Structure 1
């Protein structure tokens, strides 16, 4: 919580205003703002011209590291005055896609270095995760010390029969905002974002830390270690069906700045107060807060527990079952008294004044099918009813709002429910669109495309709005707001009036926060890598906050205005304090951008987003075998490959990997240097056979199933990073499946059409579909003879086993086929070799 208890602040109802400074005539009073982190080649790429003169350029140049002009453009859109600037304009260079490092030049004005590369966001999610780890309470791995181990004593617990000051274990979790309060509402939302980030983009995360946060791999992605740290604390905050706590500690925390050892200012030694959720108003300084029910916090518990149960099911079944039970009891708690639960303060009237709760209930009901699949229709219907109650998150329609009044700042329920129930998707995506249009109506009037209000934690709102734009685009296919989405992402990393990144230490060597409102940096000079700071606020808010005093001269003085201010100064608690929950949201966003769809190289043939053939200029063929329930050809195929000194690729389902009778074969194939990959966990049919665009699975089902396939592979030492290529079950998919695969940093592949090799599973009872081994063999040789490029680059698909009703087993012809292909000059390689990947 912000350090408001030190001051008597006055929040004014604001309207969006602008200030035009006196025109400057010196051309040095002009700047070019960019995303300091960089741009992906295929992304929207826009820089901002910002000047205190009246000048607007008519062209700009892109200069490479050798000083050569590589691009010149007149794609400039002028917007006039904004904030401290007299003239502003958007410099669009989206059509320049060549990777490299450059700068924009306009006369003698130069931009900072521009990095264009597919890898610009690589590992940034893990970098931001450092801040979450540093915020741990209980054992803190950064300090290698423990803190707050005596928490806490219960208040307001009468409804549960708990006497005031009763001790209950609540140690753990995360400190909230570089202070040491801990809130269930922000912690549950942060936990959900971390779980969702891993579920949607697992390959964005590495494994460099143990579960306790210290150095050392533990076989689990670090983001899951962090999410479990959050889940474990939430379990303590909901220890029994009739007990749930909303808050640990209160604004008495703000009496001093200190490194988090053990606090003793709460009247009971080292114990801190633990506030029970009773659905009734509780303390807010000299007044009472506006708590009306139990729903908002309890519903957040529900969704976090449900998603956690789903994700940890394969790794820790007992833990997953515990979370599933807690999800159900938390939902019951949310329904005790419908309404919002607000936080508590003792000395000041300032709190997290959350005022909406139906969005939390929507997400809760959309999450319950993760732990109770039989009730998905009923729960989806319930979730939709709540969605209709608040189709647009209220802050999107406004120029101002109270602190955390509409939280979370993005309606995650719309996104999750759209994936759970495709029939509801159109309505829910329209809700997203309506909210985006409200912000766009403000944003389109200025060069920065800024439509997010400058209230406290404006950066959190900016990240949330970027998420909403991204989700809308992914769900609807409508790319109308792509440039708006990118502009908000760019804002966080320097394309703003101040020209600074709002994330501590990211990117390295650029202008990022160095003096945030944090005890770690202020007292000990400890870096708080990855922390997202609050961000600029309306100048009217800043001026009415008593007690702010900058410690050093303002390095951004010439960019402050009557519109908004931002300071990289410990003394400004309103703009430069990092937050745990905002950083967790940013981690999701960074993982998404890091995992965005990549372009398939032109030398490969593709269909619906899957690579279906390698280079036709190289005489290479990848023999590919798929398997689900049968493996009768396994030993014969392996023997042939060894005898012929050939390596092949095997795409096997999770069910195949999990069968004990196949384990020895799998180990042998792996030991012999063959490529082993996934083929889905349950051999799902993704889309309709006749209506290819008609999906039969949700995004959640698809990604959960594929993750389960990889989990089964890990038992054989095959990690997700070792198997980039994924061959879909039934060899049937569409572009959406390819996109989802790409989001997980995997590449969909499929067989090359033209031969009958993939029909080697058929048997006579199938009638006209049946193909004999002779017919299959002949089709392969005929294709080679009748096509100019022959079988060059072919992905030739066969099956590792077939139904017993097929007695004419094609794998018995494999030795003959391989010899024939070798004689024709072909090299038989694994799929990663065919597609020029290492491994």
Structure 2
């Protein structure tokens, strides 16, 4: 179910009845001949950039979040290549002899490739200037633009393409070779443009995914490029820069990028010298133990001591860290922590809700998700992880919260974008965690 949500987020194509059933819909957003916004550095011209997934409850497509989401699911396929077989997900590609999860990921990767500029830099996002109302994709009539270009999007793209090149090397060798070339081209652009932040221009009001701290993105990209190519230049970057960015326990998607490079290094330990890998393993296990200590001290056995935007993804990202700790050590205590984390997501939490749409005895019915709100169907599209309790309550002017407790700062109303939205980077760690549990427990 959590993987199927990505199919329902596909842009530029209809969701057919044969695959989508009740939730079939017309296509929208062909995203051909999209004009360049001046923030790209181009003053004229258009770009064809069809496909990919809608990012969240809106209809935007964002490279930074696409990179994180794709990479976390590729991490799963590196550990367990056969976790989701062909024809398991009932998507249009089912039956082609390729793992269905990989087929779904390729739909996003093929869009990402279109967002690389000729000199190697990567455009930040494809959106309109403003969010659309709660309408179906086929009803959308706002002009969509190619917006921004910066260091973070380019490095996250480089990391993802290098990782994808490894995972697809046997099934899609030509694509894989092109991805390595594209990743290295992006790296070179980022080295030459190492501090280009993205901020929304004054006339753009869609999701920002802004960043002006790039050391974590450089480390992630260098990790993936070294594991894929074996080139000394990337290893030198890791050796020179790993100490300040050792694993961190923290909330917020932006900070989990700091840990993403480590996942691939840990999965390919044989490519590192013993001193570095021993340090990385030691630090990872220390981090996992910190998470377990927090889980022991906090009700509902999660590792969060505060609740921010997308808190459920923080729970799941911490669970990913525990998965790798279990993979490294075989110790059951880490697997227990992973199970506690999923218990929380599926209803063992202060709100009583299952935070996965379509699942549980107390289901969320009104997510901040445009297709679910506009399709005329009472039940929302299934398979989405909701953002979860958010003590900052950025939507408090339009949403009445019934509890002042941080762990209950969640409302099942469509207007609650701060607690009840969906997002691909909240689903991706759920796919990893559920896939890991299925693999090791079966």
Q: TM-score range by the shorter chain?
A: 0.7 to 0.9
Cα deviation, 1:36-87, whole Å, max 9, x if unaligned, reads xxxxxxxxxxxxxxxxxxxxxxxxxxxxxxxxxxxxxxxxxxxxxxxxxxxx
Cα deviation, 1:685-713, whole Å, max 9, x if unaligned, reads xxxxxxxxxxxxxxxxxxxxxxxxxxxxx
- Paired with 2:236 and 2:267, the residues of 1 have a C-alpha distance of 14
Distance 1:519 1:465, change over 3 A: same
Whose helix fraction is larger, Structure 1's or Structure 2's? 2
2:277 aligned to which of 411, 422, 425? 425
Q: What is the 5 A alignment of 1:715-734?
A: none
Distance 1:210 1:441, change over 3 A: closer
Offset at residue 221 of structure 1 (A): 1.5
Aligned to 2:190: 334
Offset at residue 147 of structure 1 (A): 1.6
- Contact 1:148–1:262, Cα closer than 8 Å, also in 2: no
TM-score when normalising by structure 2: 0.86
Aligned to 2:209: 352
Aligned to 1:163: 43
* 2:297 match: secondary structure: coil
- Paired with 1:445 and 1:262, the residues of 2 have a C-alpha distance of 49
- Contact 2:128–2:145, Cα closer than 8 Å, also in 1: yes
Distance 1:311 1:440, change over 3 A: closer
Q: What is the 5 A alignment of 1:749-768?
A: none
Offset at residue 489 of structure 1 (A): 2.5
Alignment pair present for 1:515 and 2:366? yes
- Paired with 2:170 and 2:192, the residues of 1 have a C-alpha distance of 32
Distance 1:506 1:312, change over 3 A: same
Alignment pair present for 1:153 and 2:35? yes
Distance 1:366 1:328, change over 3 A: same
- Paired with 1:210 and 1:597, the residues of 2 have a C-alpha distance of 20
Alignment pair present for 1:232 and 2:85? no
- Contact 1:309–1:321, Cα closer than 8 Å, also in 2: yes
Cα deviation, 1:406-437, whole Å, max 9, x if unaligned, reads 253x6121121123344222211333344445
Offset at residue 384 of structure 1 (A): 4.0
Aligned to 2:434: 590
* 1:139 match: secondary structure: coil
Q: What is the 5 A alignment of 1:655-670?
A: none
Aligned to 1:139: 13
- Paired with 2:228 and 2:264, the residues of 1 have a C-alpha distance of 14
2:134 aligned to which of 257, 263, 266? 257
2:63 aligned to which of 174, 178, 184? 184
Which structure has more relative contact order (CA 8 Å, sep 6+)? It is: 2
1:303 aligned to which of 141, 155, 159? 159
Cα deviation, 1:501-551, whole Å, max 9, x if unaligned, reads 2111135xx32322211122222126422111101111xx22x6344236x
TM-score when normalising by structure 1: 0.47
Whose strand fraction is larger, Structure 1's or Structure 2's? 1
Distance 1:179 1:348, change over 3 A: closer
In structure 1, list runs of 5 or more residues that go unmatched: 1-126, 266-270, 280-293, 599-839
Cα deviation, 1:565-607, whole Å, max 9, x if unaligned, reads 2222213221111111211221111110100155xxxxxxxxx
Aligned to 1:575: 419
- Paired with 1:436 and 1:354, the residues of 2 have a C-alpha distance of 27
- Paired with 2:165 and 2:207, the residues of 1 have a C-alpha distance of 35
How many residue pairs match? The answer is: 426
Offset at residue 235 of structure 1 (A): 0.6
Offset at residue 318 of structure 1 (A): 2.0
Aligned to 1:196: 75
- Paired with 1:478 and 1:381, the residues of 2 have a C-alpha distance of 33
Aligned to 1:17: none
In structure 2, list runs of 5 or more residues that go unmatched: none
- Paired with 1:419 and 1:207, the residues of 2 have a C-alpha distance of 24
- Paired with 1:323 and 1:505, the residues of 2 have a C-alpha distance of 36
Offset at residue 491 of structure 1 (A): 1.1
Offset at residue 251 of structure 1 (A): 5.6
- Contact 1:173–1:233, Cα closer than 8 Å, also in 2: yes
* Structural RMSD (CA): 2.9
Offset at residue 467 of structure 1 (A): 0.5
